[in-house]
Amino acid sequence: MPLPYYVSPEQMMKDKAEYARKGIARGRSIVTLEYGDGILLVAENPSTLLHKISEIYDRIAFAGVGKYNEFENLRIAGIRHADVKGFSYSRGDVTAKALANAYSQALGNIFTQDIKPFEVEVLVAEVSDHNGSRSEIYHILYDGTIEDERNYAAMGGQADEIRRFLKDHFQDTMTLDQAVQLGVRALTVTQNKTLSERDLEVAVLDRTKTRRKFRRLPVEALSQLLGTAR
Amino acid sequence: MGDSRWQASFNDYGNSSFLELLRRDFPALIPRAFQTSIEPMVIPSGAAAEIAHGTTVLAVRYRDGVIMAGDRQATAGFQVASRRIEKIFKSDELSGVGIAGAAGPAMEMAKLFQTELEHYEKVEGDNLSLEGKANKLGQMIRMNLQAAMMGLAVVPIFAGFDEKAGLGRLFKYDITGGRYEETNYDAQGSGSKDARDSLKKLWRRDMTRDEALRVALEALVDAADEDVGTGGPDLIRKIFPTVKTITRSGFGDVADDEVQRVCEAILADRTKAEVGS
């Protein structure tokens, strides 16, 4: 049996990271913003059936970019984690932090142990009970790196440019329509085209709702918020 | 067998079921009464009398959907186990379940059922049909059969708004999980016969919400009147029956003070009829 070629660990990790980054950079982006009543998630996604944003639990939402089948598996694993935990303890014991840690572990293990790393980044957001107390936004990268973001987050192909744009334009306690408009502008900042409500998937964690805070914004509501209603 | 790995993702039918998830990965979390593989439970004689039982719940169809109501008493033998128990649970935005029978397993079942529906909705991105929900609940009751034989029967009423058909529907069950759809009204629990008799006389087609509320509460007052296990409106502690409505726009509460007002009106009318004002 021929000996496999020796590849240094540094080189192997570098190659894997480059591979994963390339895959993610091909995909469209997602932005997340805090606004007065909660957290807004905006994705560029022309499909109305294949979601990139999803409900995980009462106050927790999930978003994923990159390869659909990979982040879909992570999404379902997250729902299972949350539902089992909420069933065996209580609904209040399900936290974004524990879930983000689980994602970080999973992606870290896959990155180091599997030949092909996942080409995804995921985001876990948990809305706080009161306006003023801090909501939580965790951003987990393809290699398990976990970042605790404040006020806003971006991931996907043009994440760096979007983050720079949001740094300059983000304001505290925006209304929902201000936040939606800012989110959509941020997504188009690196592109020459405009996005209509049909190219977008938008959802909120709305703290004014009872128990399940997650709510999708349908196209009609979205066109009103964007001021494009006819 | 090189292709067995990808085939597995088609065979995983229970993918969106919470109960299947528990069965596969966390069997210890399944309430004991629902574990079919265990040896029969032995409940010592005398203990059965100490287990709390929920008494009367009912569902009534009206113009906009279904109204569900239940008294607030749990009874263990000849004792009141609780005066404030809730027996009508929201199972999702468009359906509710009213529990009667052994209170412990019944509440576990309601919680499991509610998680099951929410889990399915989140994983699939879509709601189960009302028919699908009703069948799922039937399967859970069937799992409880062994415990039911030993005096821990759970017999819920399930009601919801069917979006496709555009109307409220209600289902009753027996301890074997048998599922029977009722068209107009039904009641379950120790006072159910009296509540049903009352509903039989008072129910009319196309009632408004206020009429349906009155009819539902009349039936509960009748059940409390005839059945020792069922609690009536408690004027001393201000505890009144739980009433919920399920319509196109979702699952809603009927506020306590409205229930109190209607209950007091019913009691006043009856006093007047019995002894004059």
| Over residues A151-155, mean pLDDT | 95
Per-residue pLDDT of B49-96, as tens digits, reads 678 888 899 999 999 999 999 999 999 988 899 999 999 999 999 999
pLDDT at B210: 97
Global pTM reads: 0.91
Average pLDDT over residues A77-91: 95
Average pLDDT, chain A: 92
Q: Does any CB of chain B come closer than 8 Å to the CB of residue A56?
A: yes
Alpha-carbon Rg of chain B, whole angstroms?
20
A55 touches chain B (CB under 8 A): yes
**A28-225 has which fold?**
Glutamine Phosphoribosylpyrophosphate, subunit 1, domain 1 (3.60.20)
Domain containing B222 equals 51-272
* Chain B touched by A83 (CB under 8 Å): yes
Q: Averaged over A84-96, what is the pLDDT?
A: 95
User: Is residue B9, in this structure, part of any structural domain at all?
Assistant: no
Nearest-CA distance from A75 to chain B in Å?
A: 8
Q: Taking 90 as the threshold, does the pLDDT of residue A192 lie above it?
A: no
Q: Where are the domains of chain A?
A: 28-225
Task: Return the closest-CA partner of residue B236 out of B81, B72, B100.
Answer: B72
Identify the pLDDT of residue A150. Answer: 92
Q: From the candidates B55, B56, B242, B245, which is the catalytic residue?
A: B55
How distant, in Å, are the alpha carbons of A41, A187, A195, B72, B257 from that of A192?
A: 22, 11, 10, 63, 59
- Residue B199 phi/psi, 5-degree rounding, is -65, -35
Nearest CA in chain B to A77: B123
C-alpha B65: how far from its chain's center? 16
Q: What is the pLDDT of residue B239?
A: 96
Could you say which residues of chain B have pLDDT below 50?
A: 1
A-B CB pairs within 8 A amount to 34
pLDDT band at A189 (very low <50, low <70, confident <90, very high): confident
A25 vs A133, residue with greater confidence: A25
Q: Which residue has the higher pLDDT, B256 or A194?
A: B256
CATH number of the domain encompassing residue B250:
3.60.20.10
Q: Which residue has the tokens 């509710």?
A: B96
Mean pLDDT of A69-88: 95
Average pLDDT over residues A202-207: 96
Which stretches does DSSP call E strand in B145-249?
157-162, 167-173, 179-182, 185-188, 242-247
Cα B110 to Cα B145: distance, rounded to the nearest angstrom: 16
- Band (A230; pLDDT cuts 50, 70, 90): very low
Report the pLDDT value the prediction gives residue B12, as an integer from 0 to 100.
67
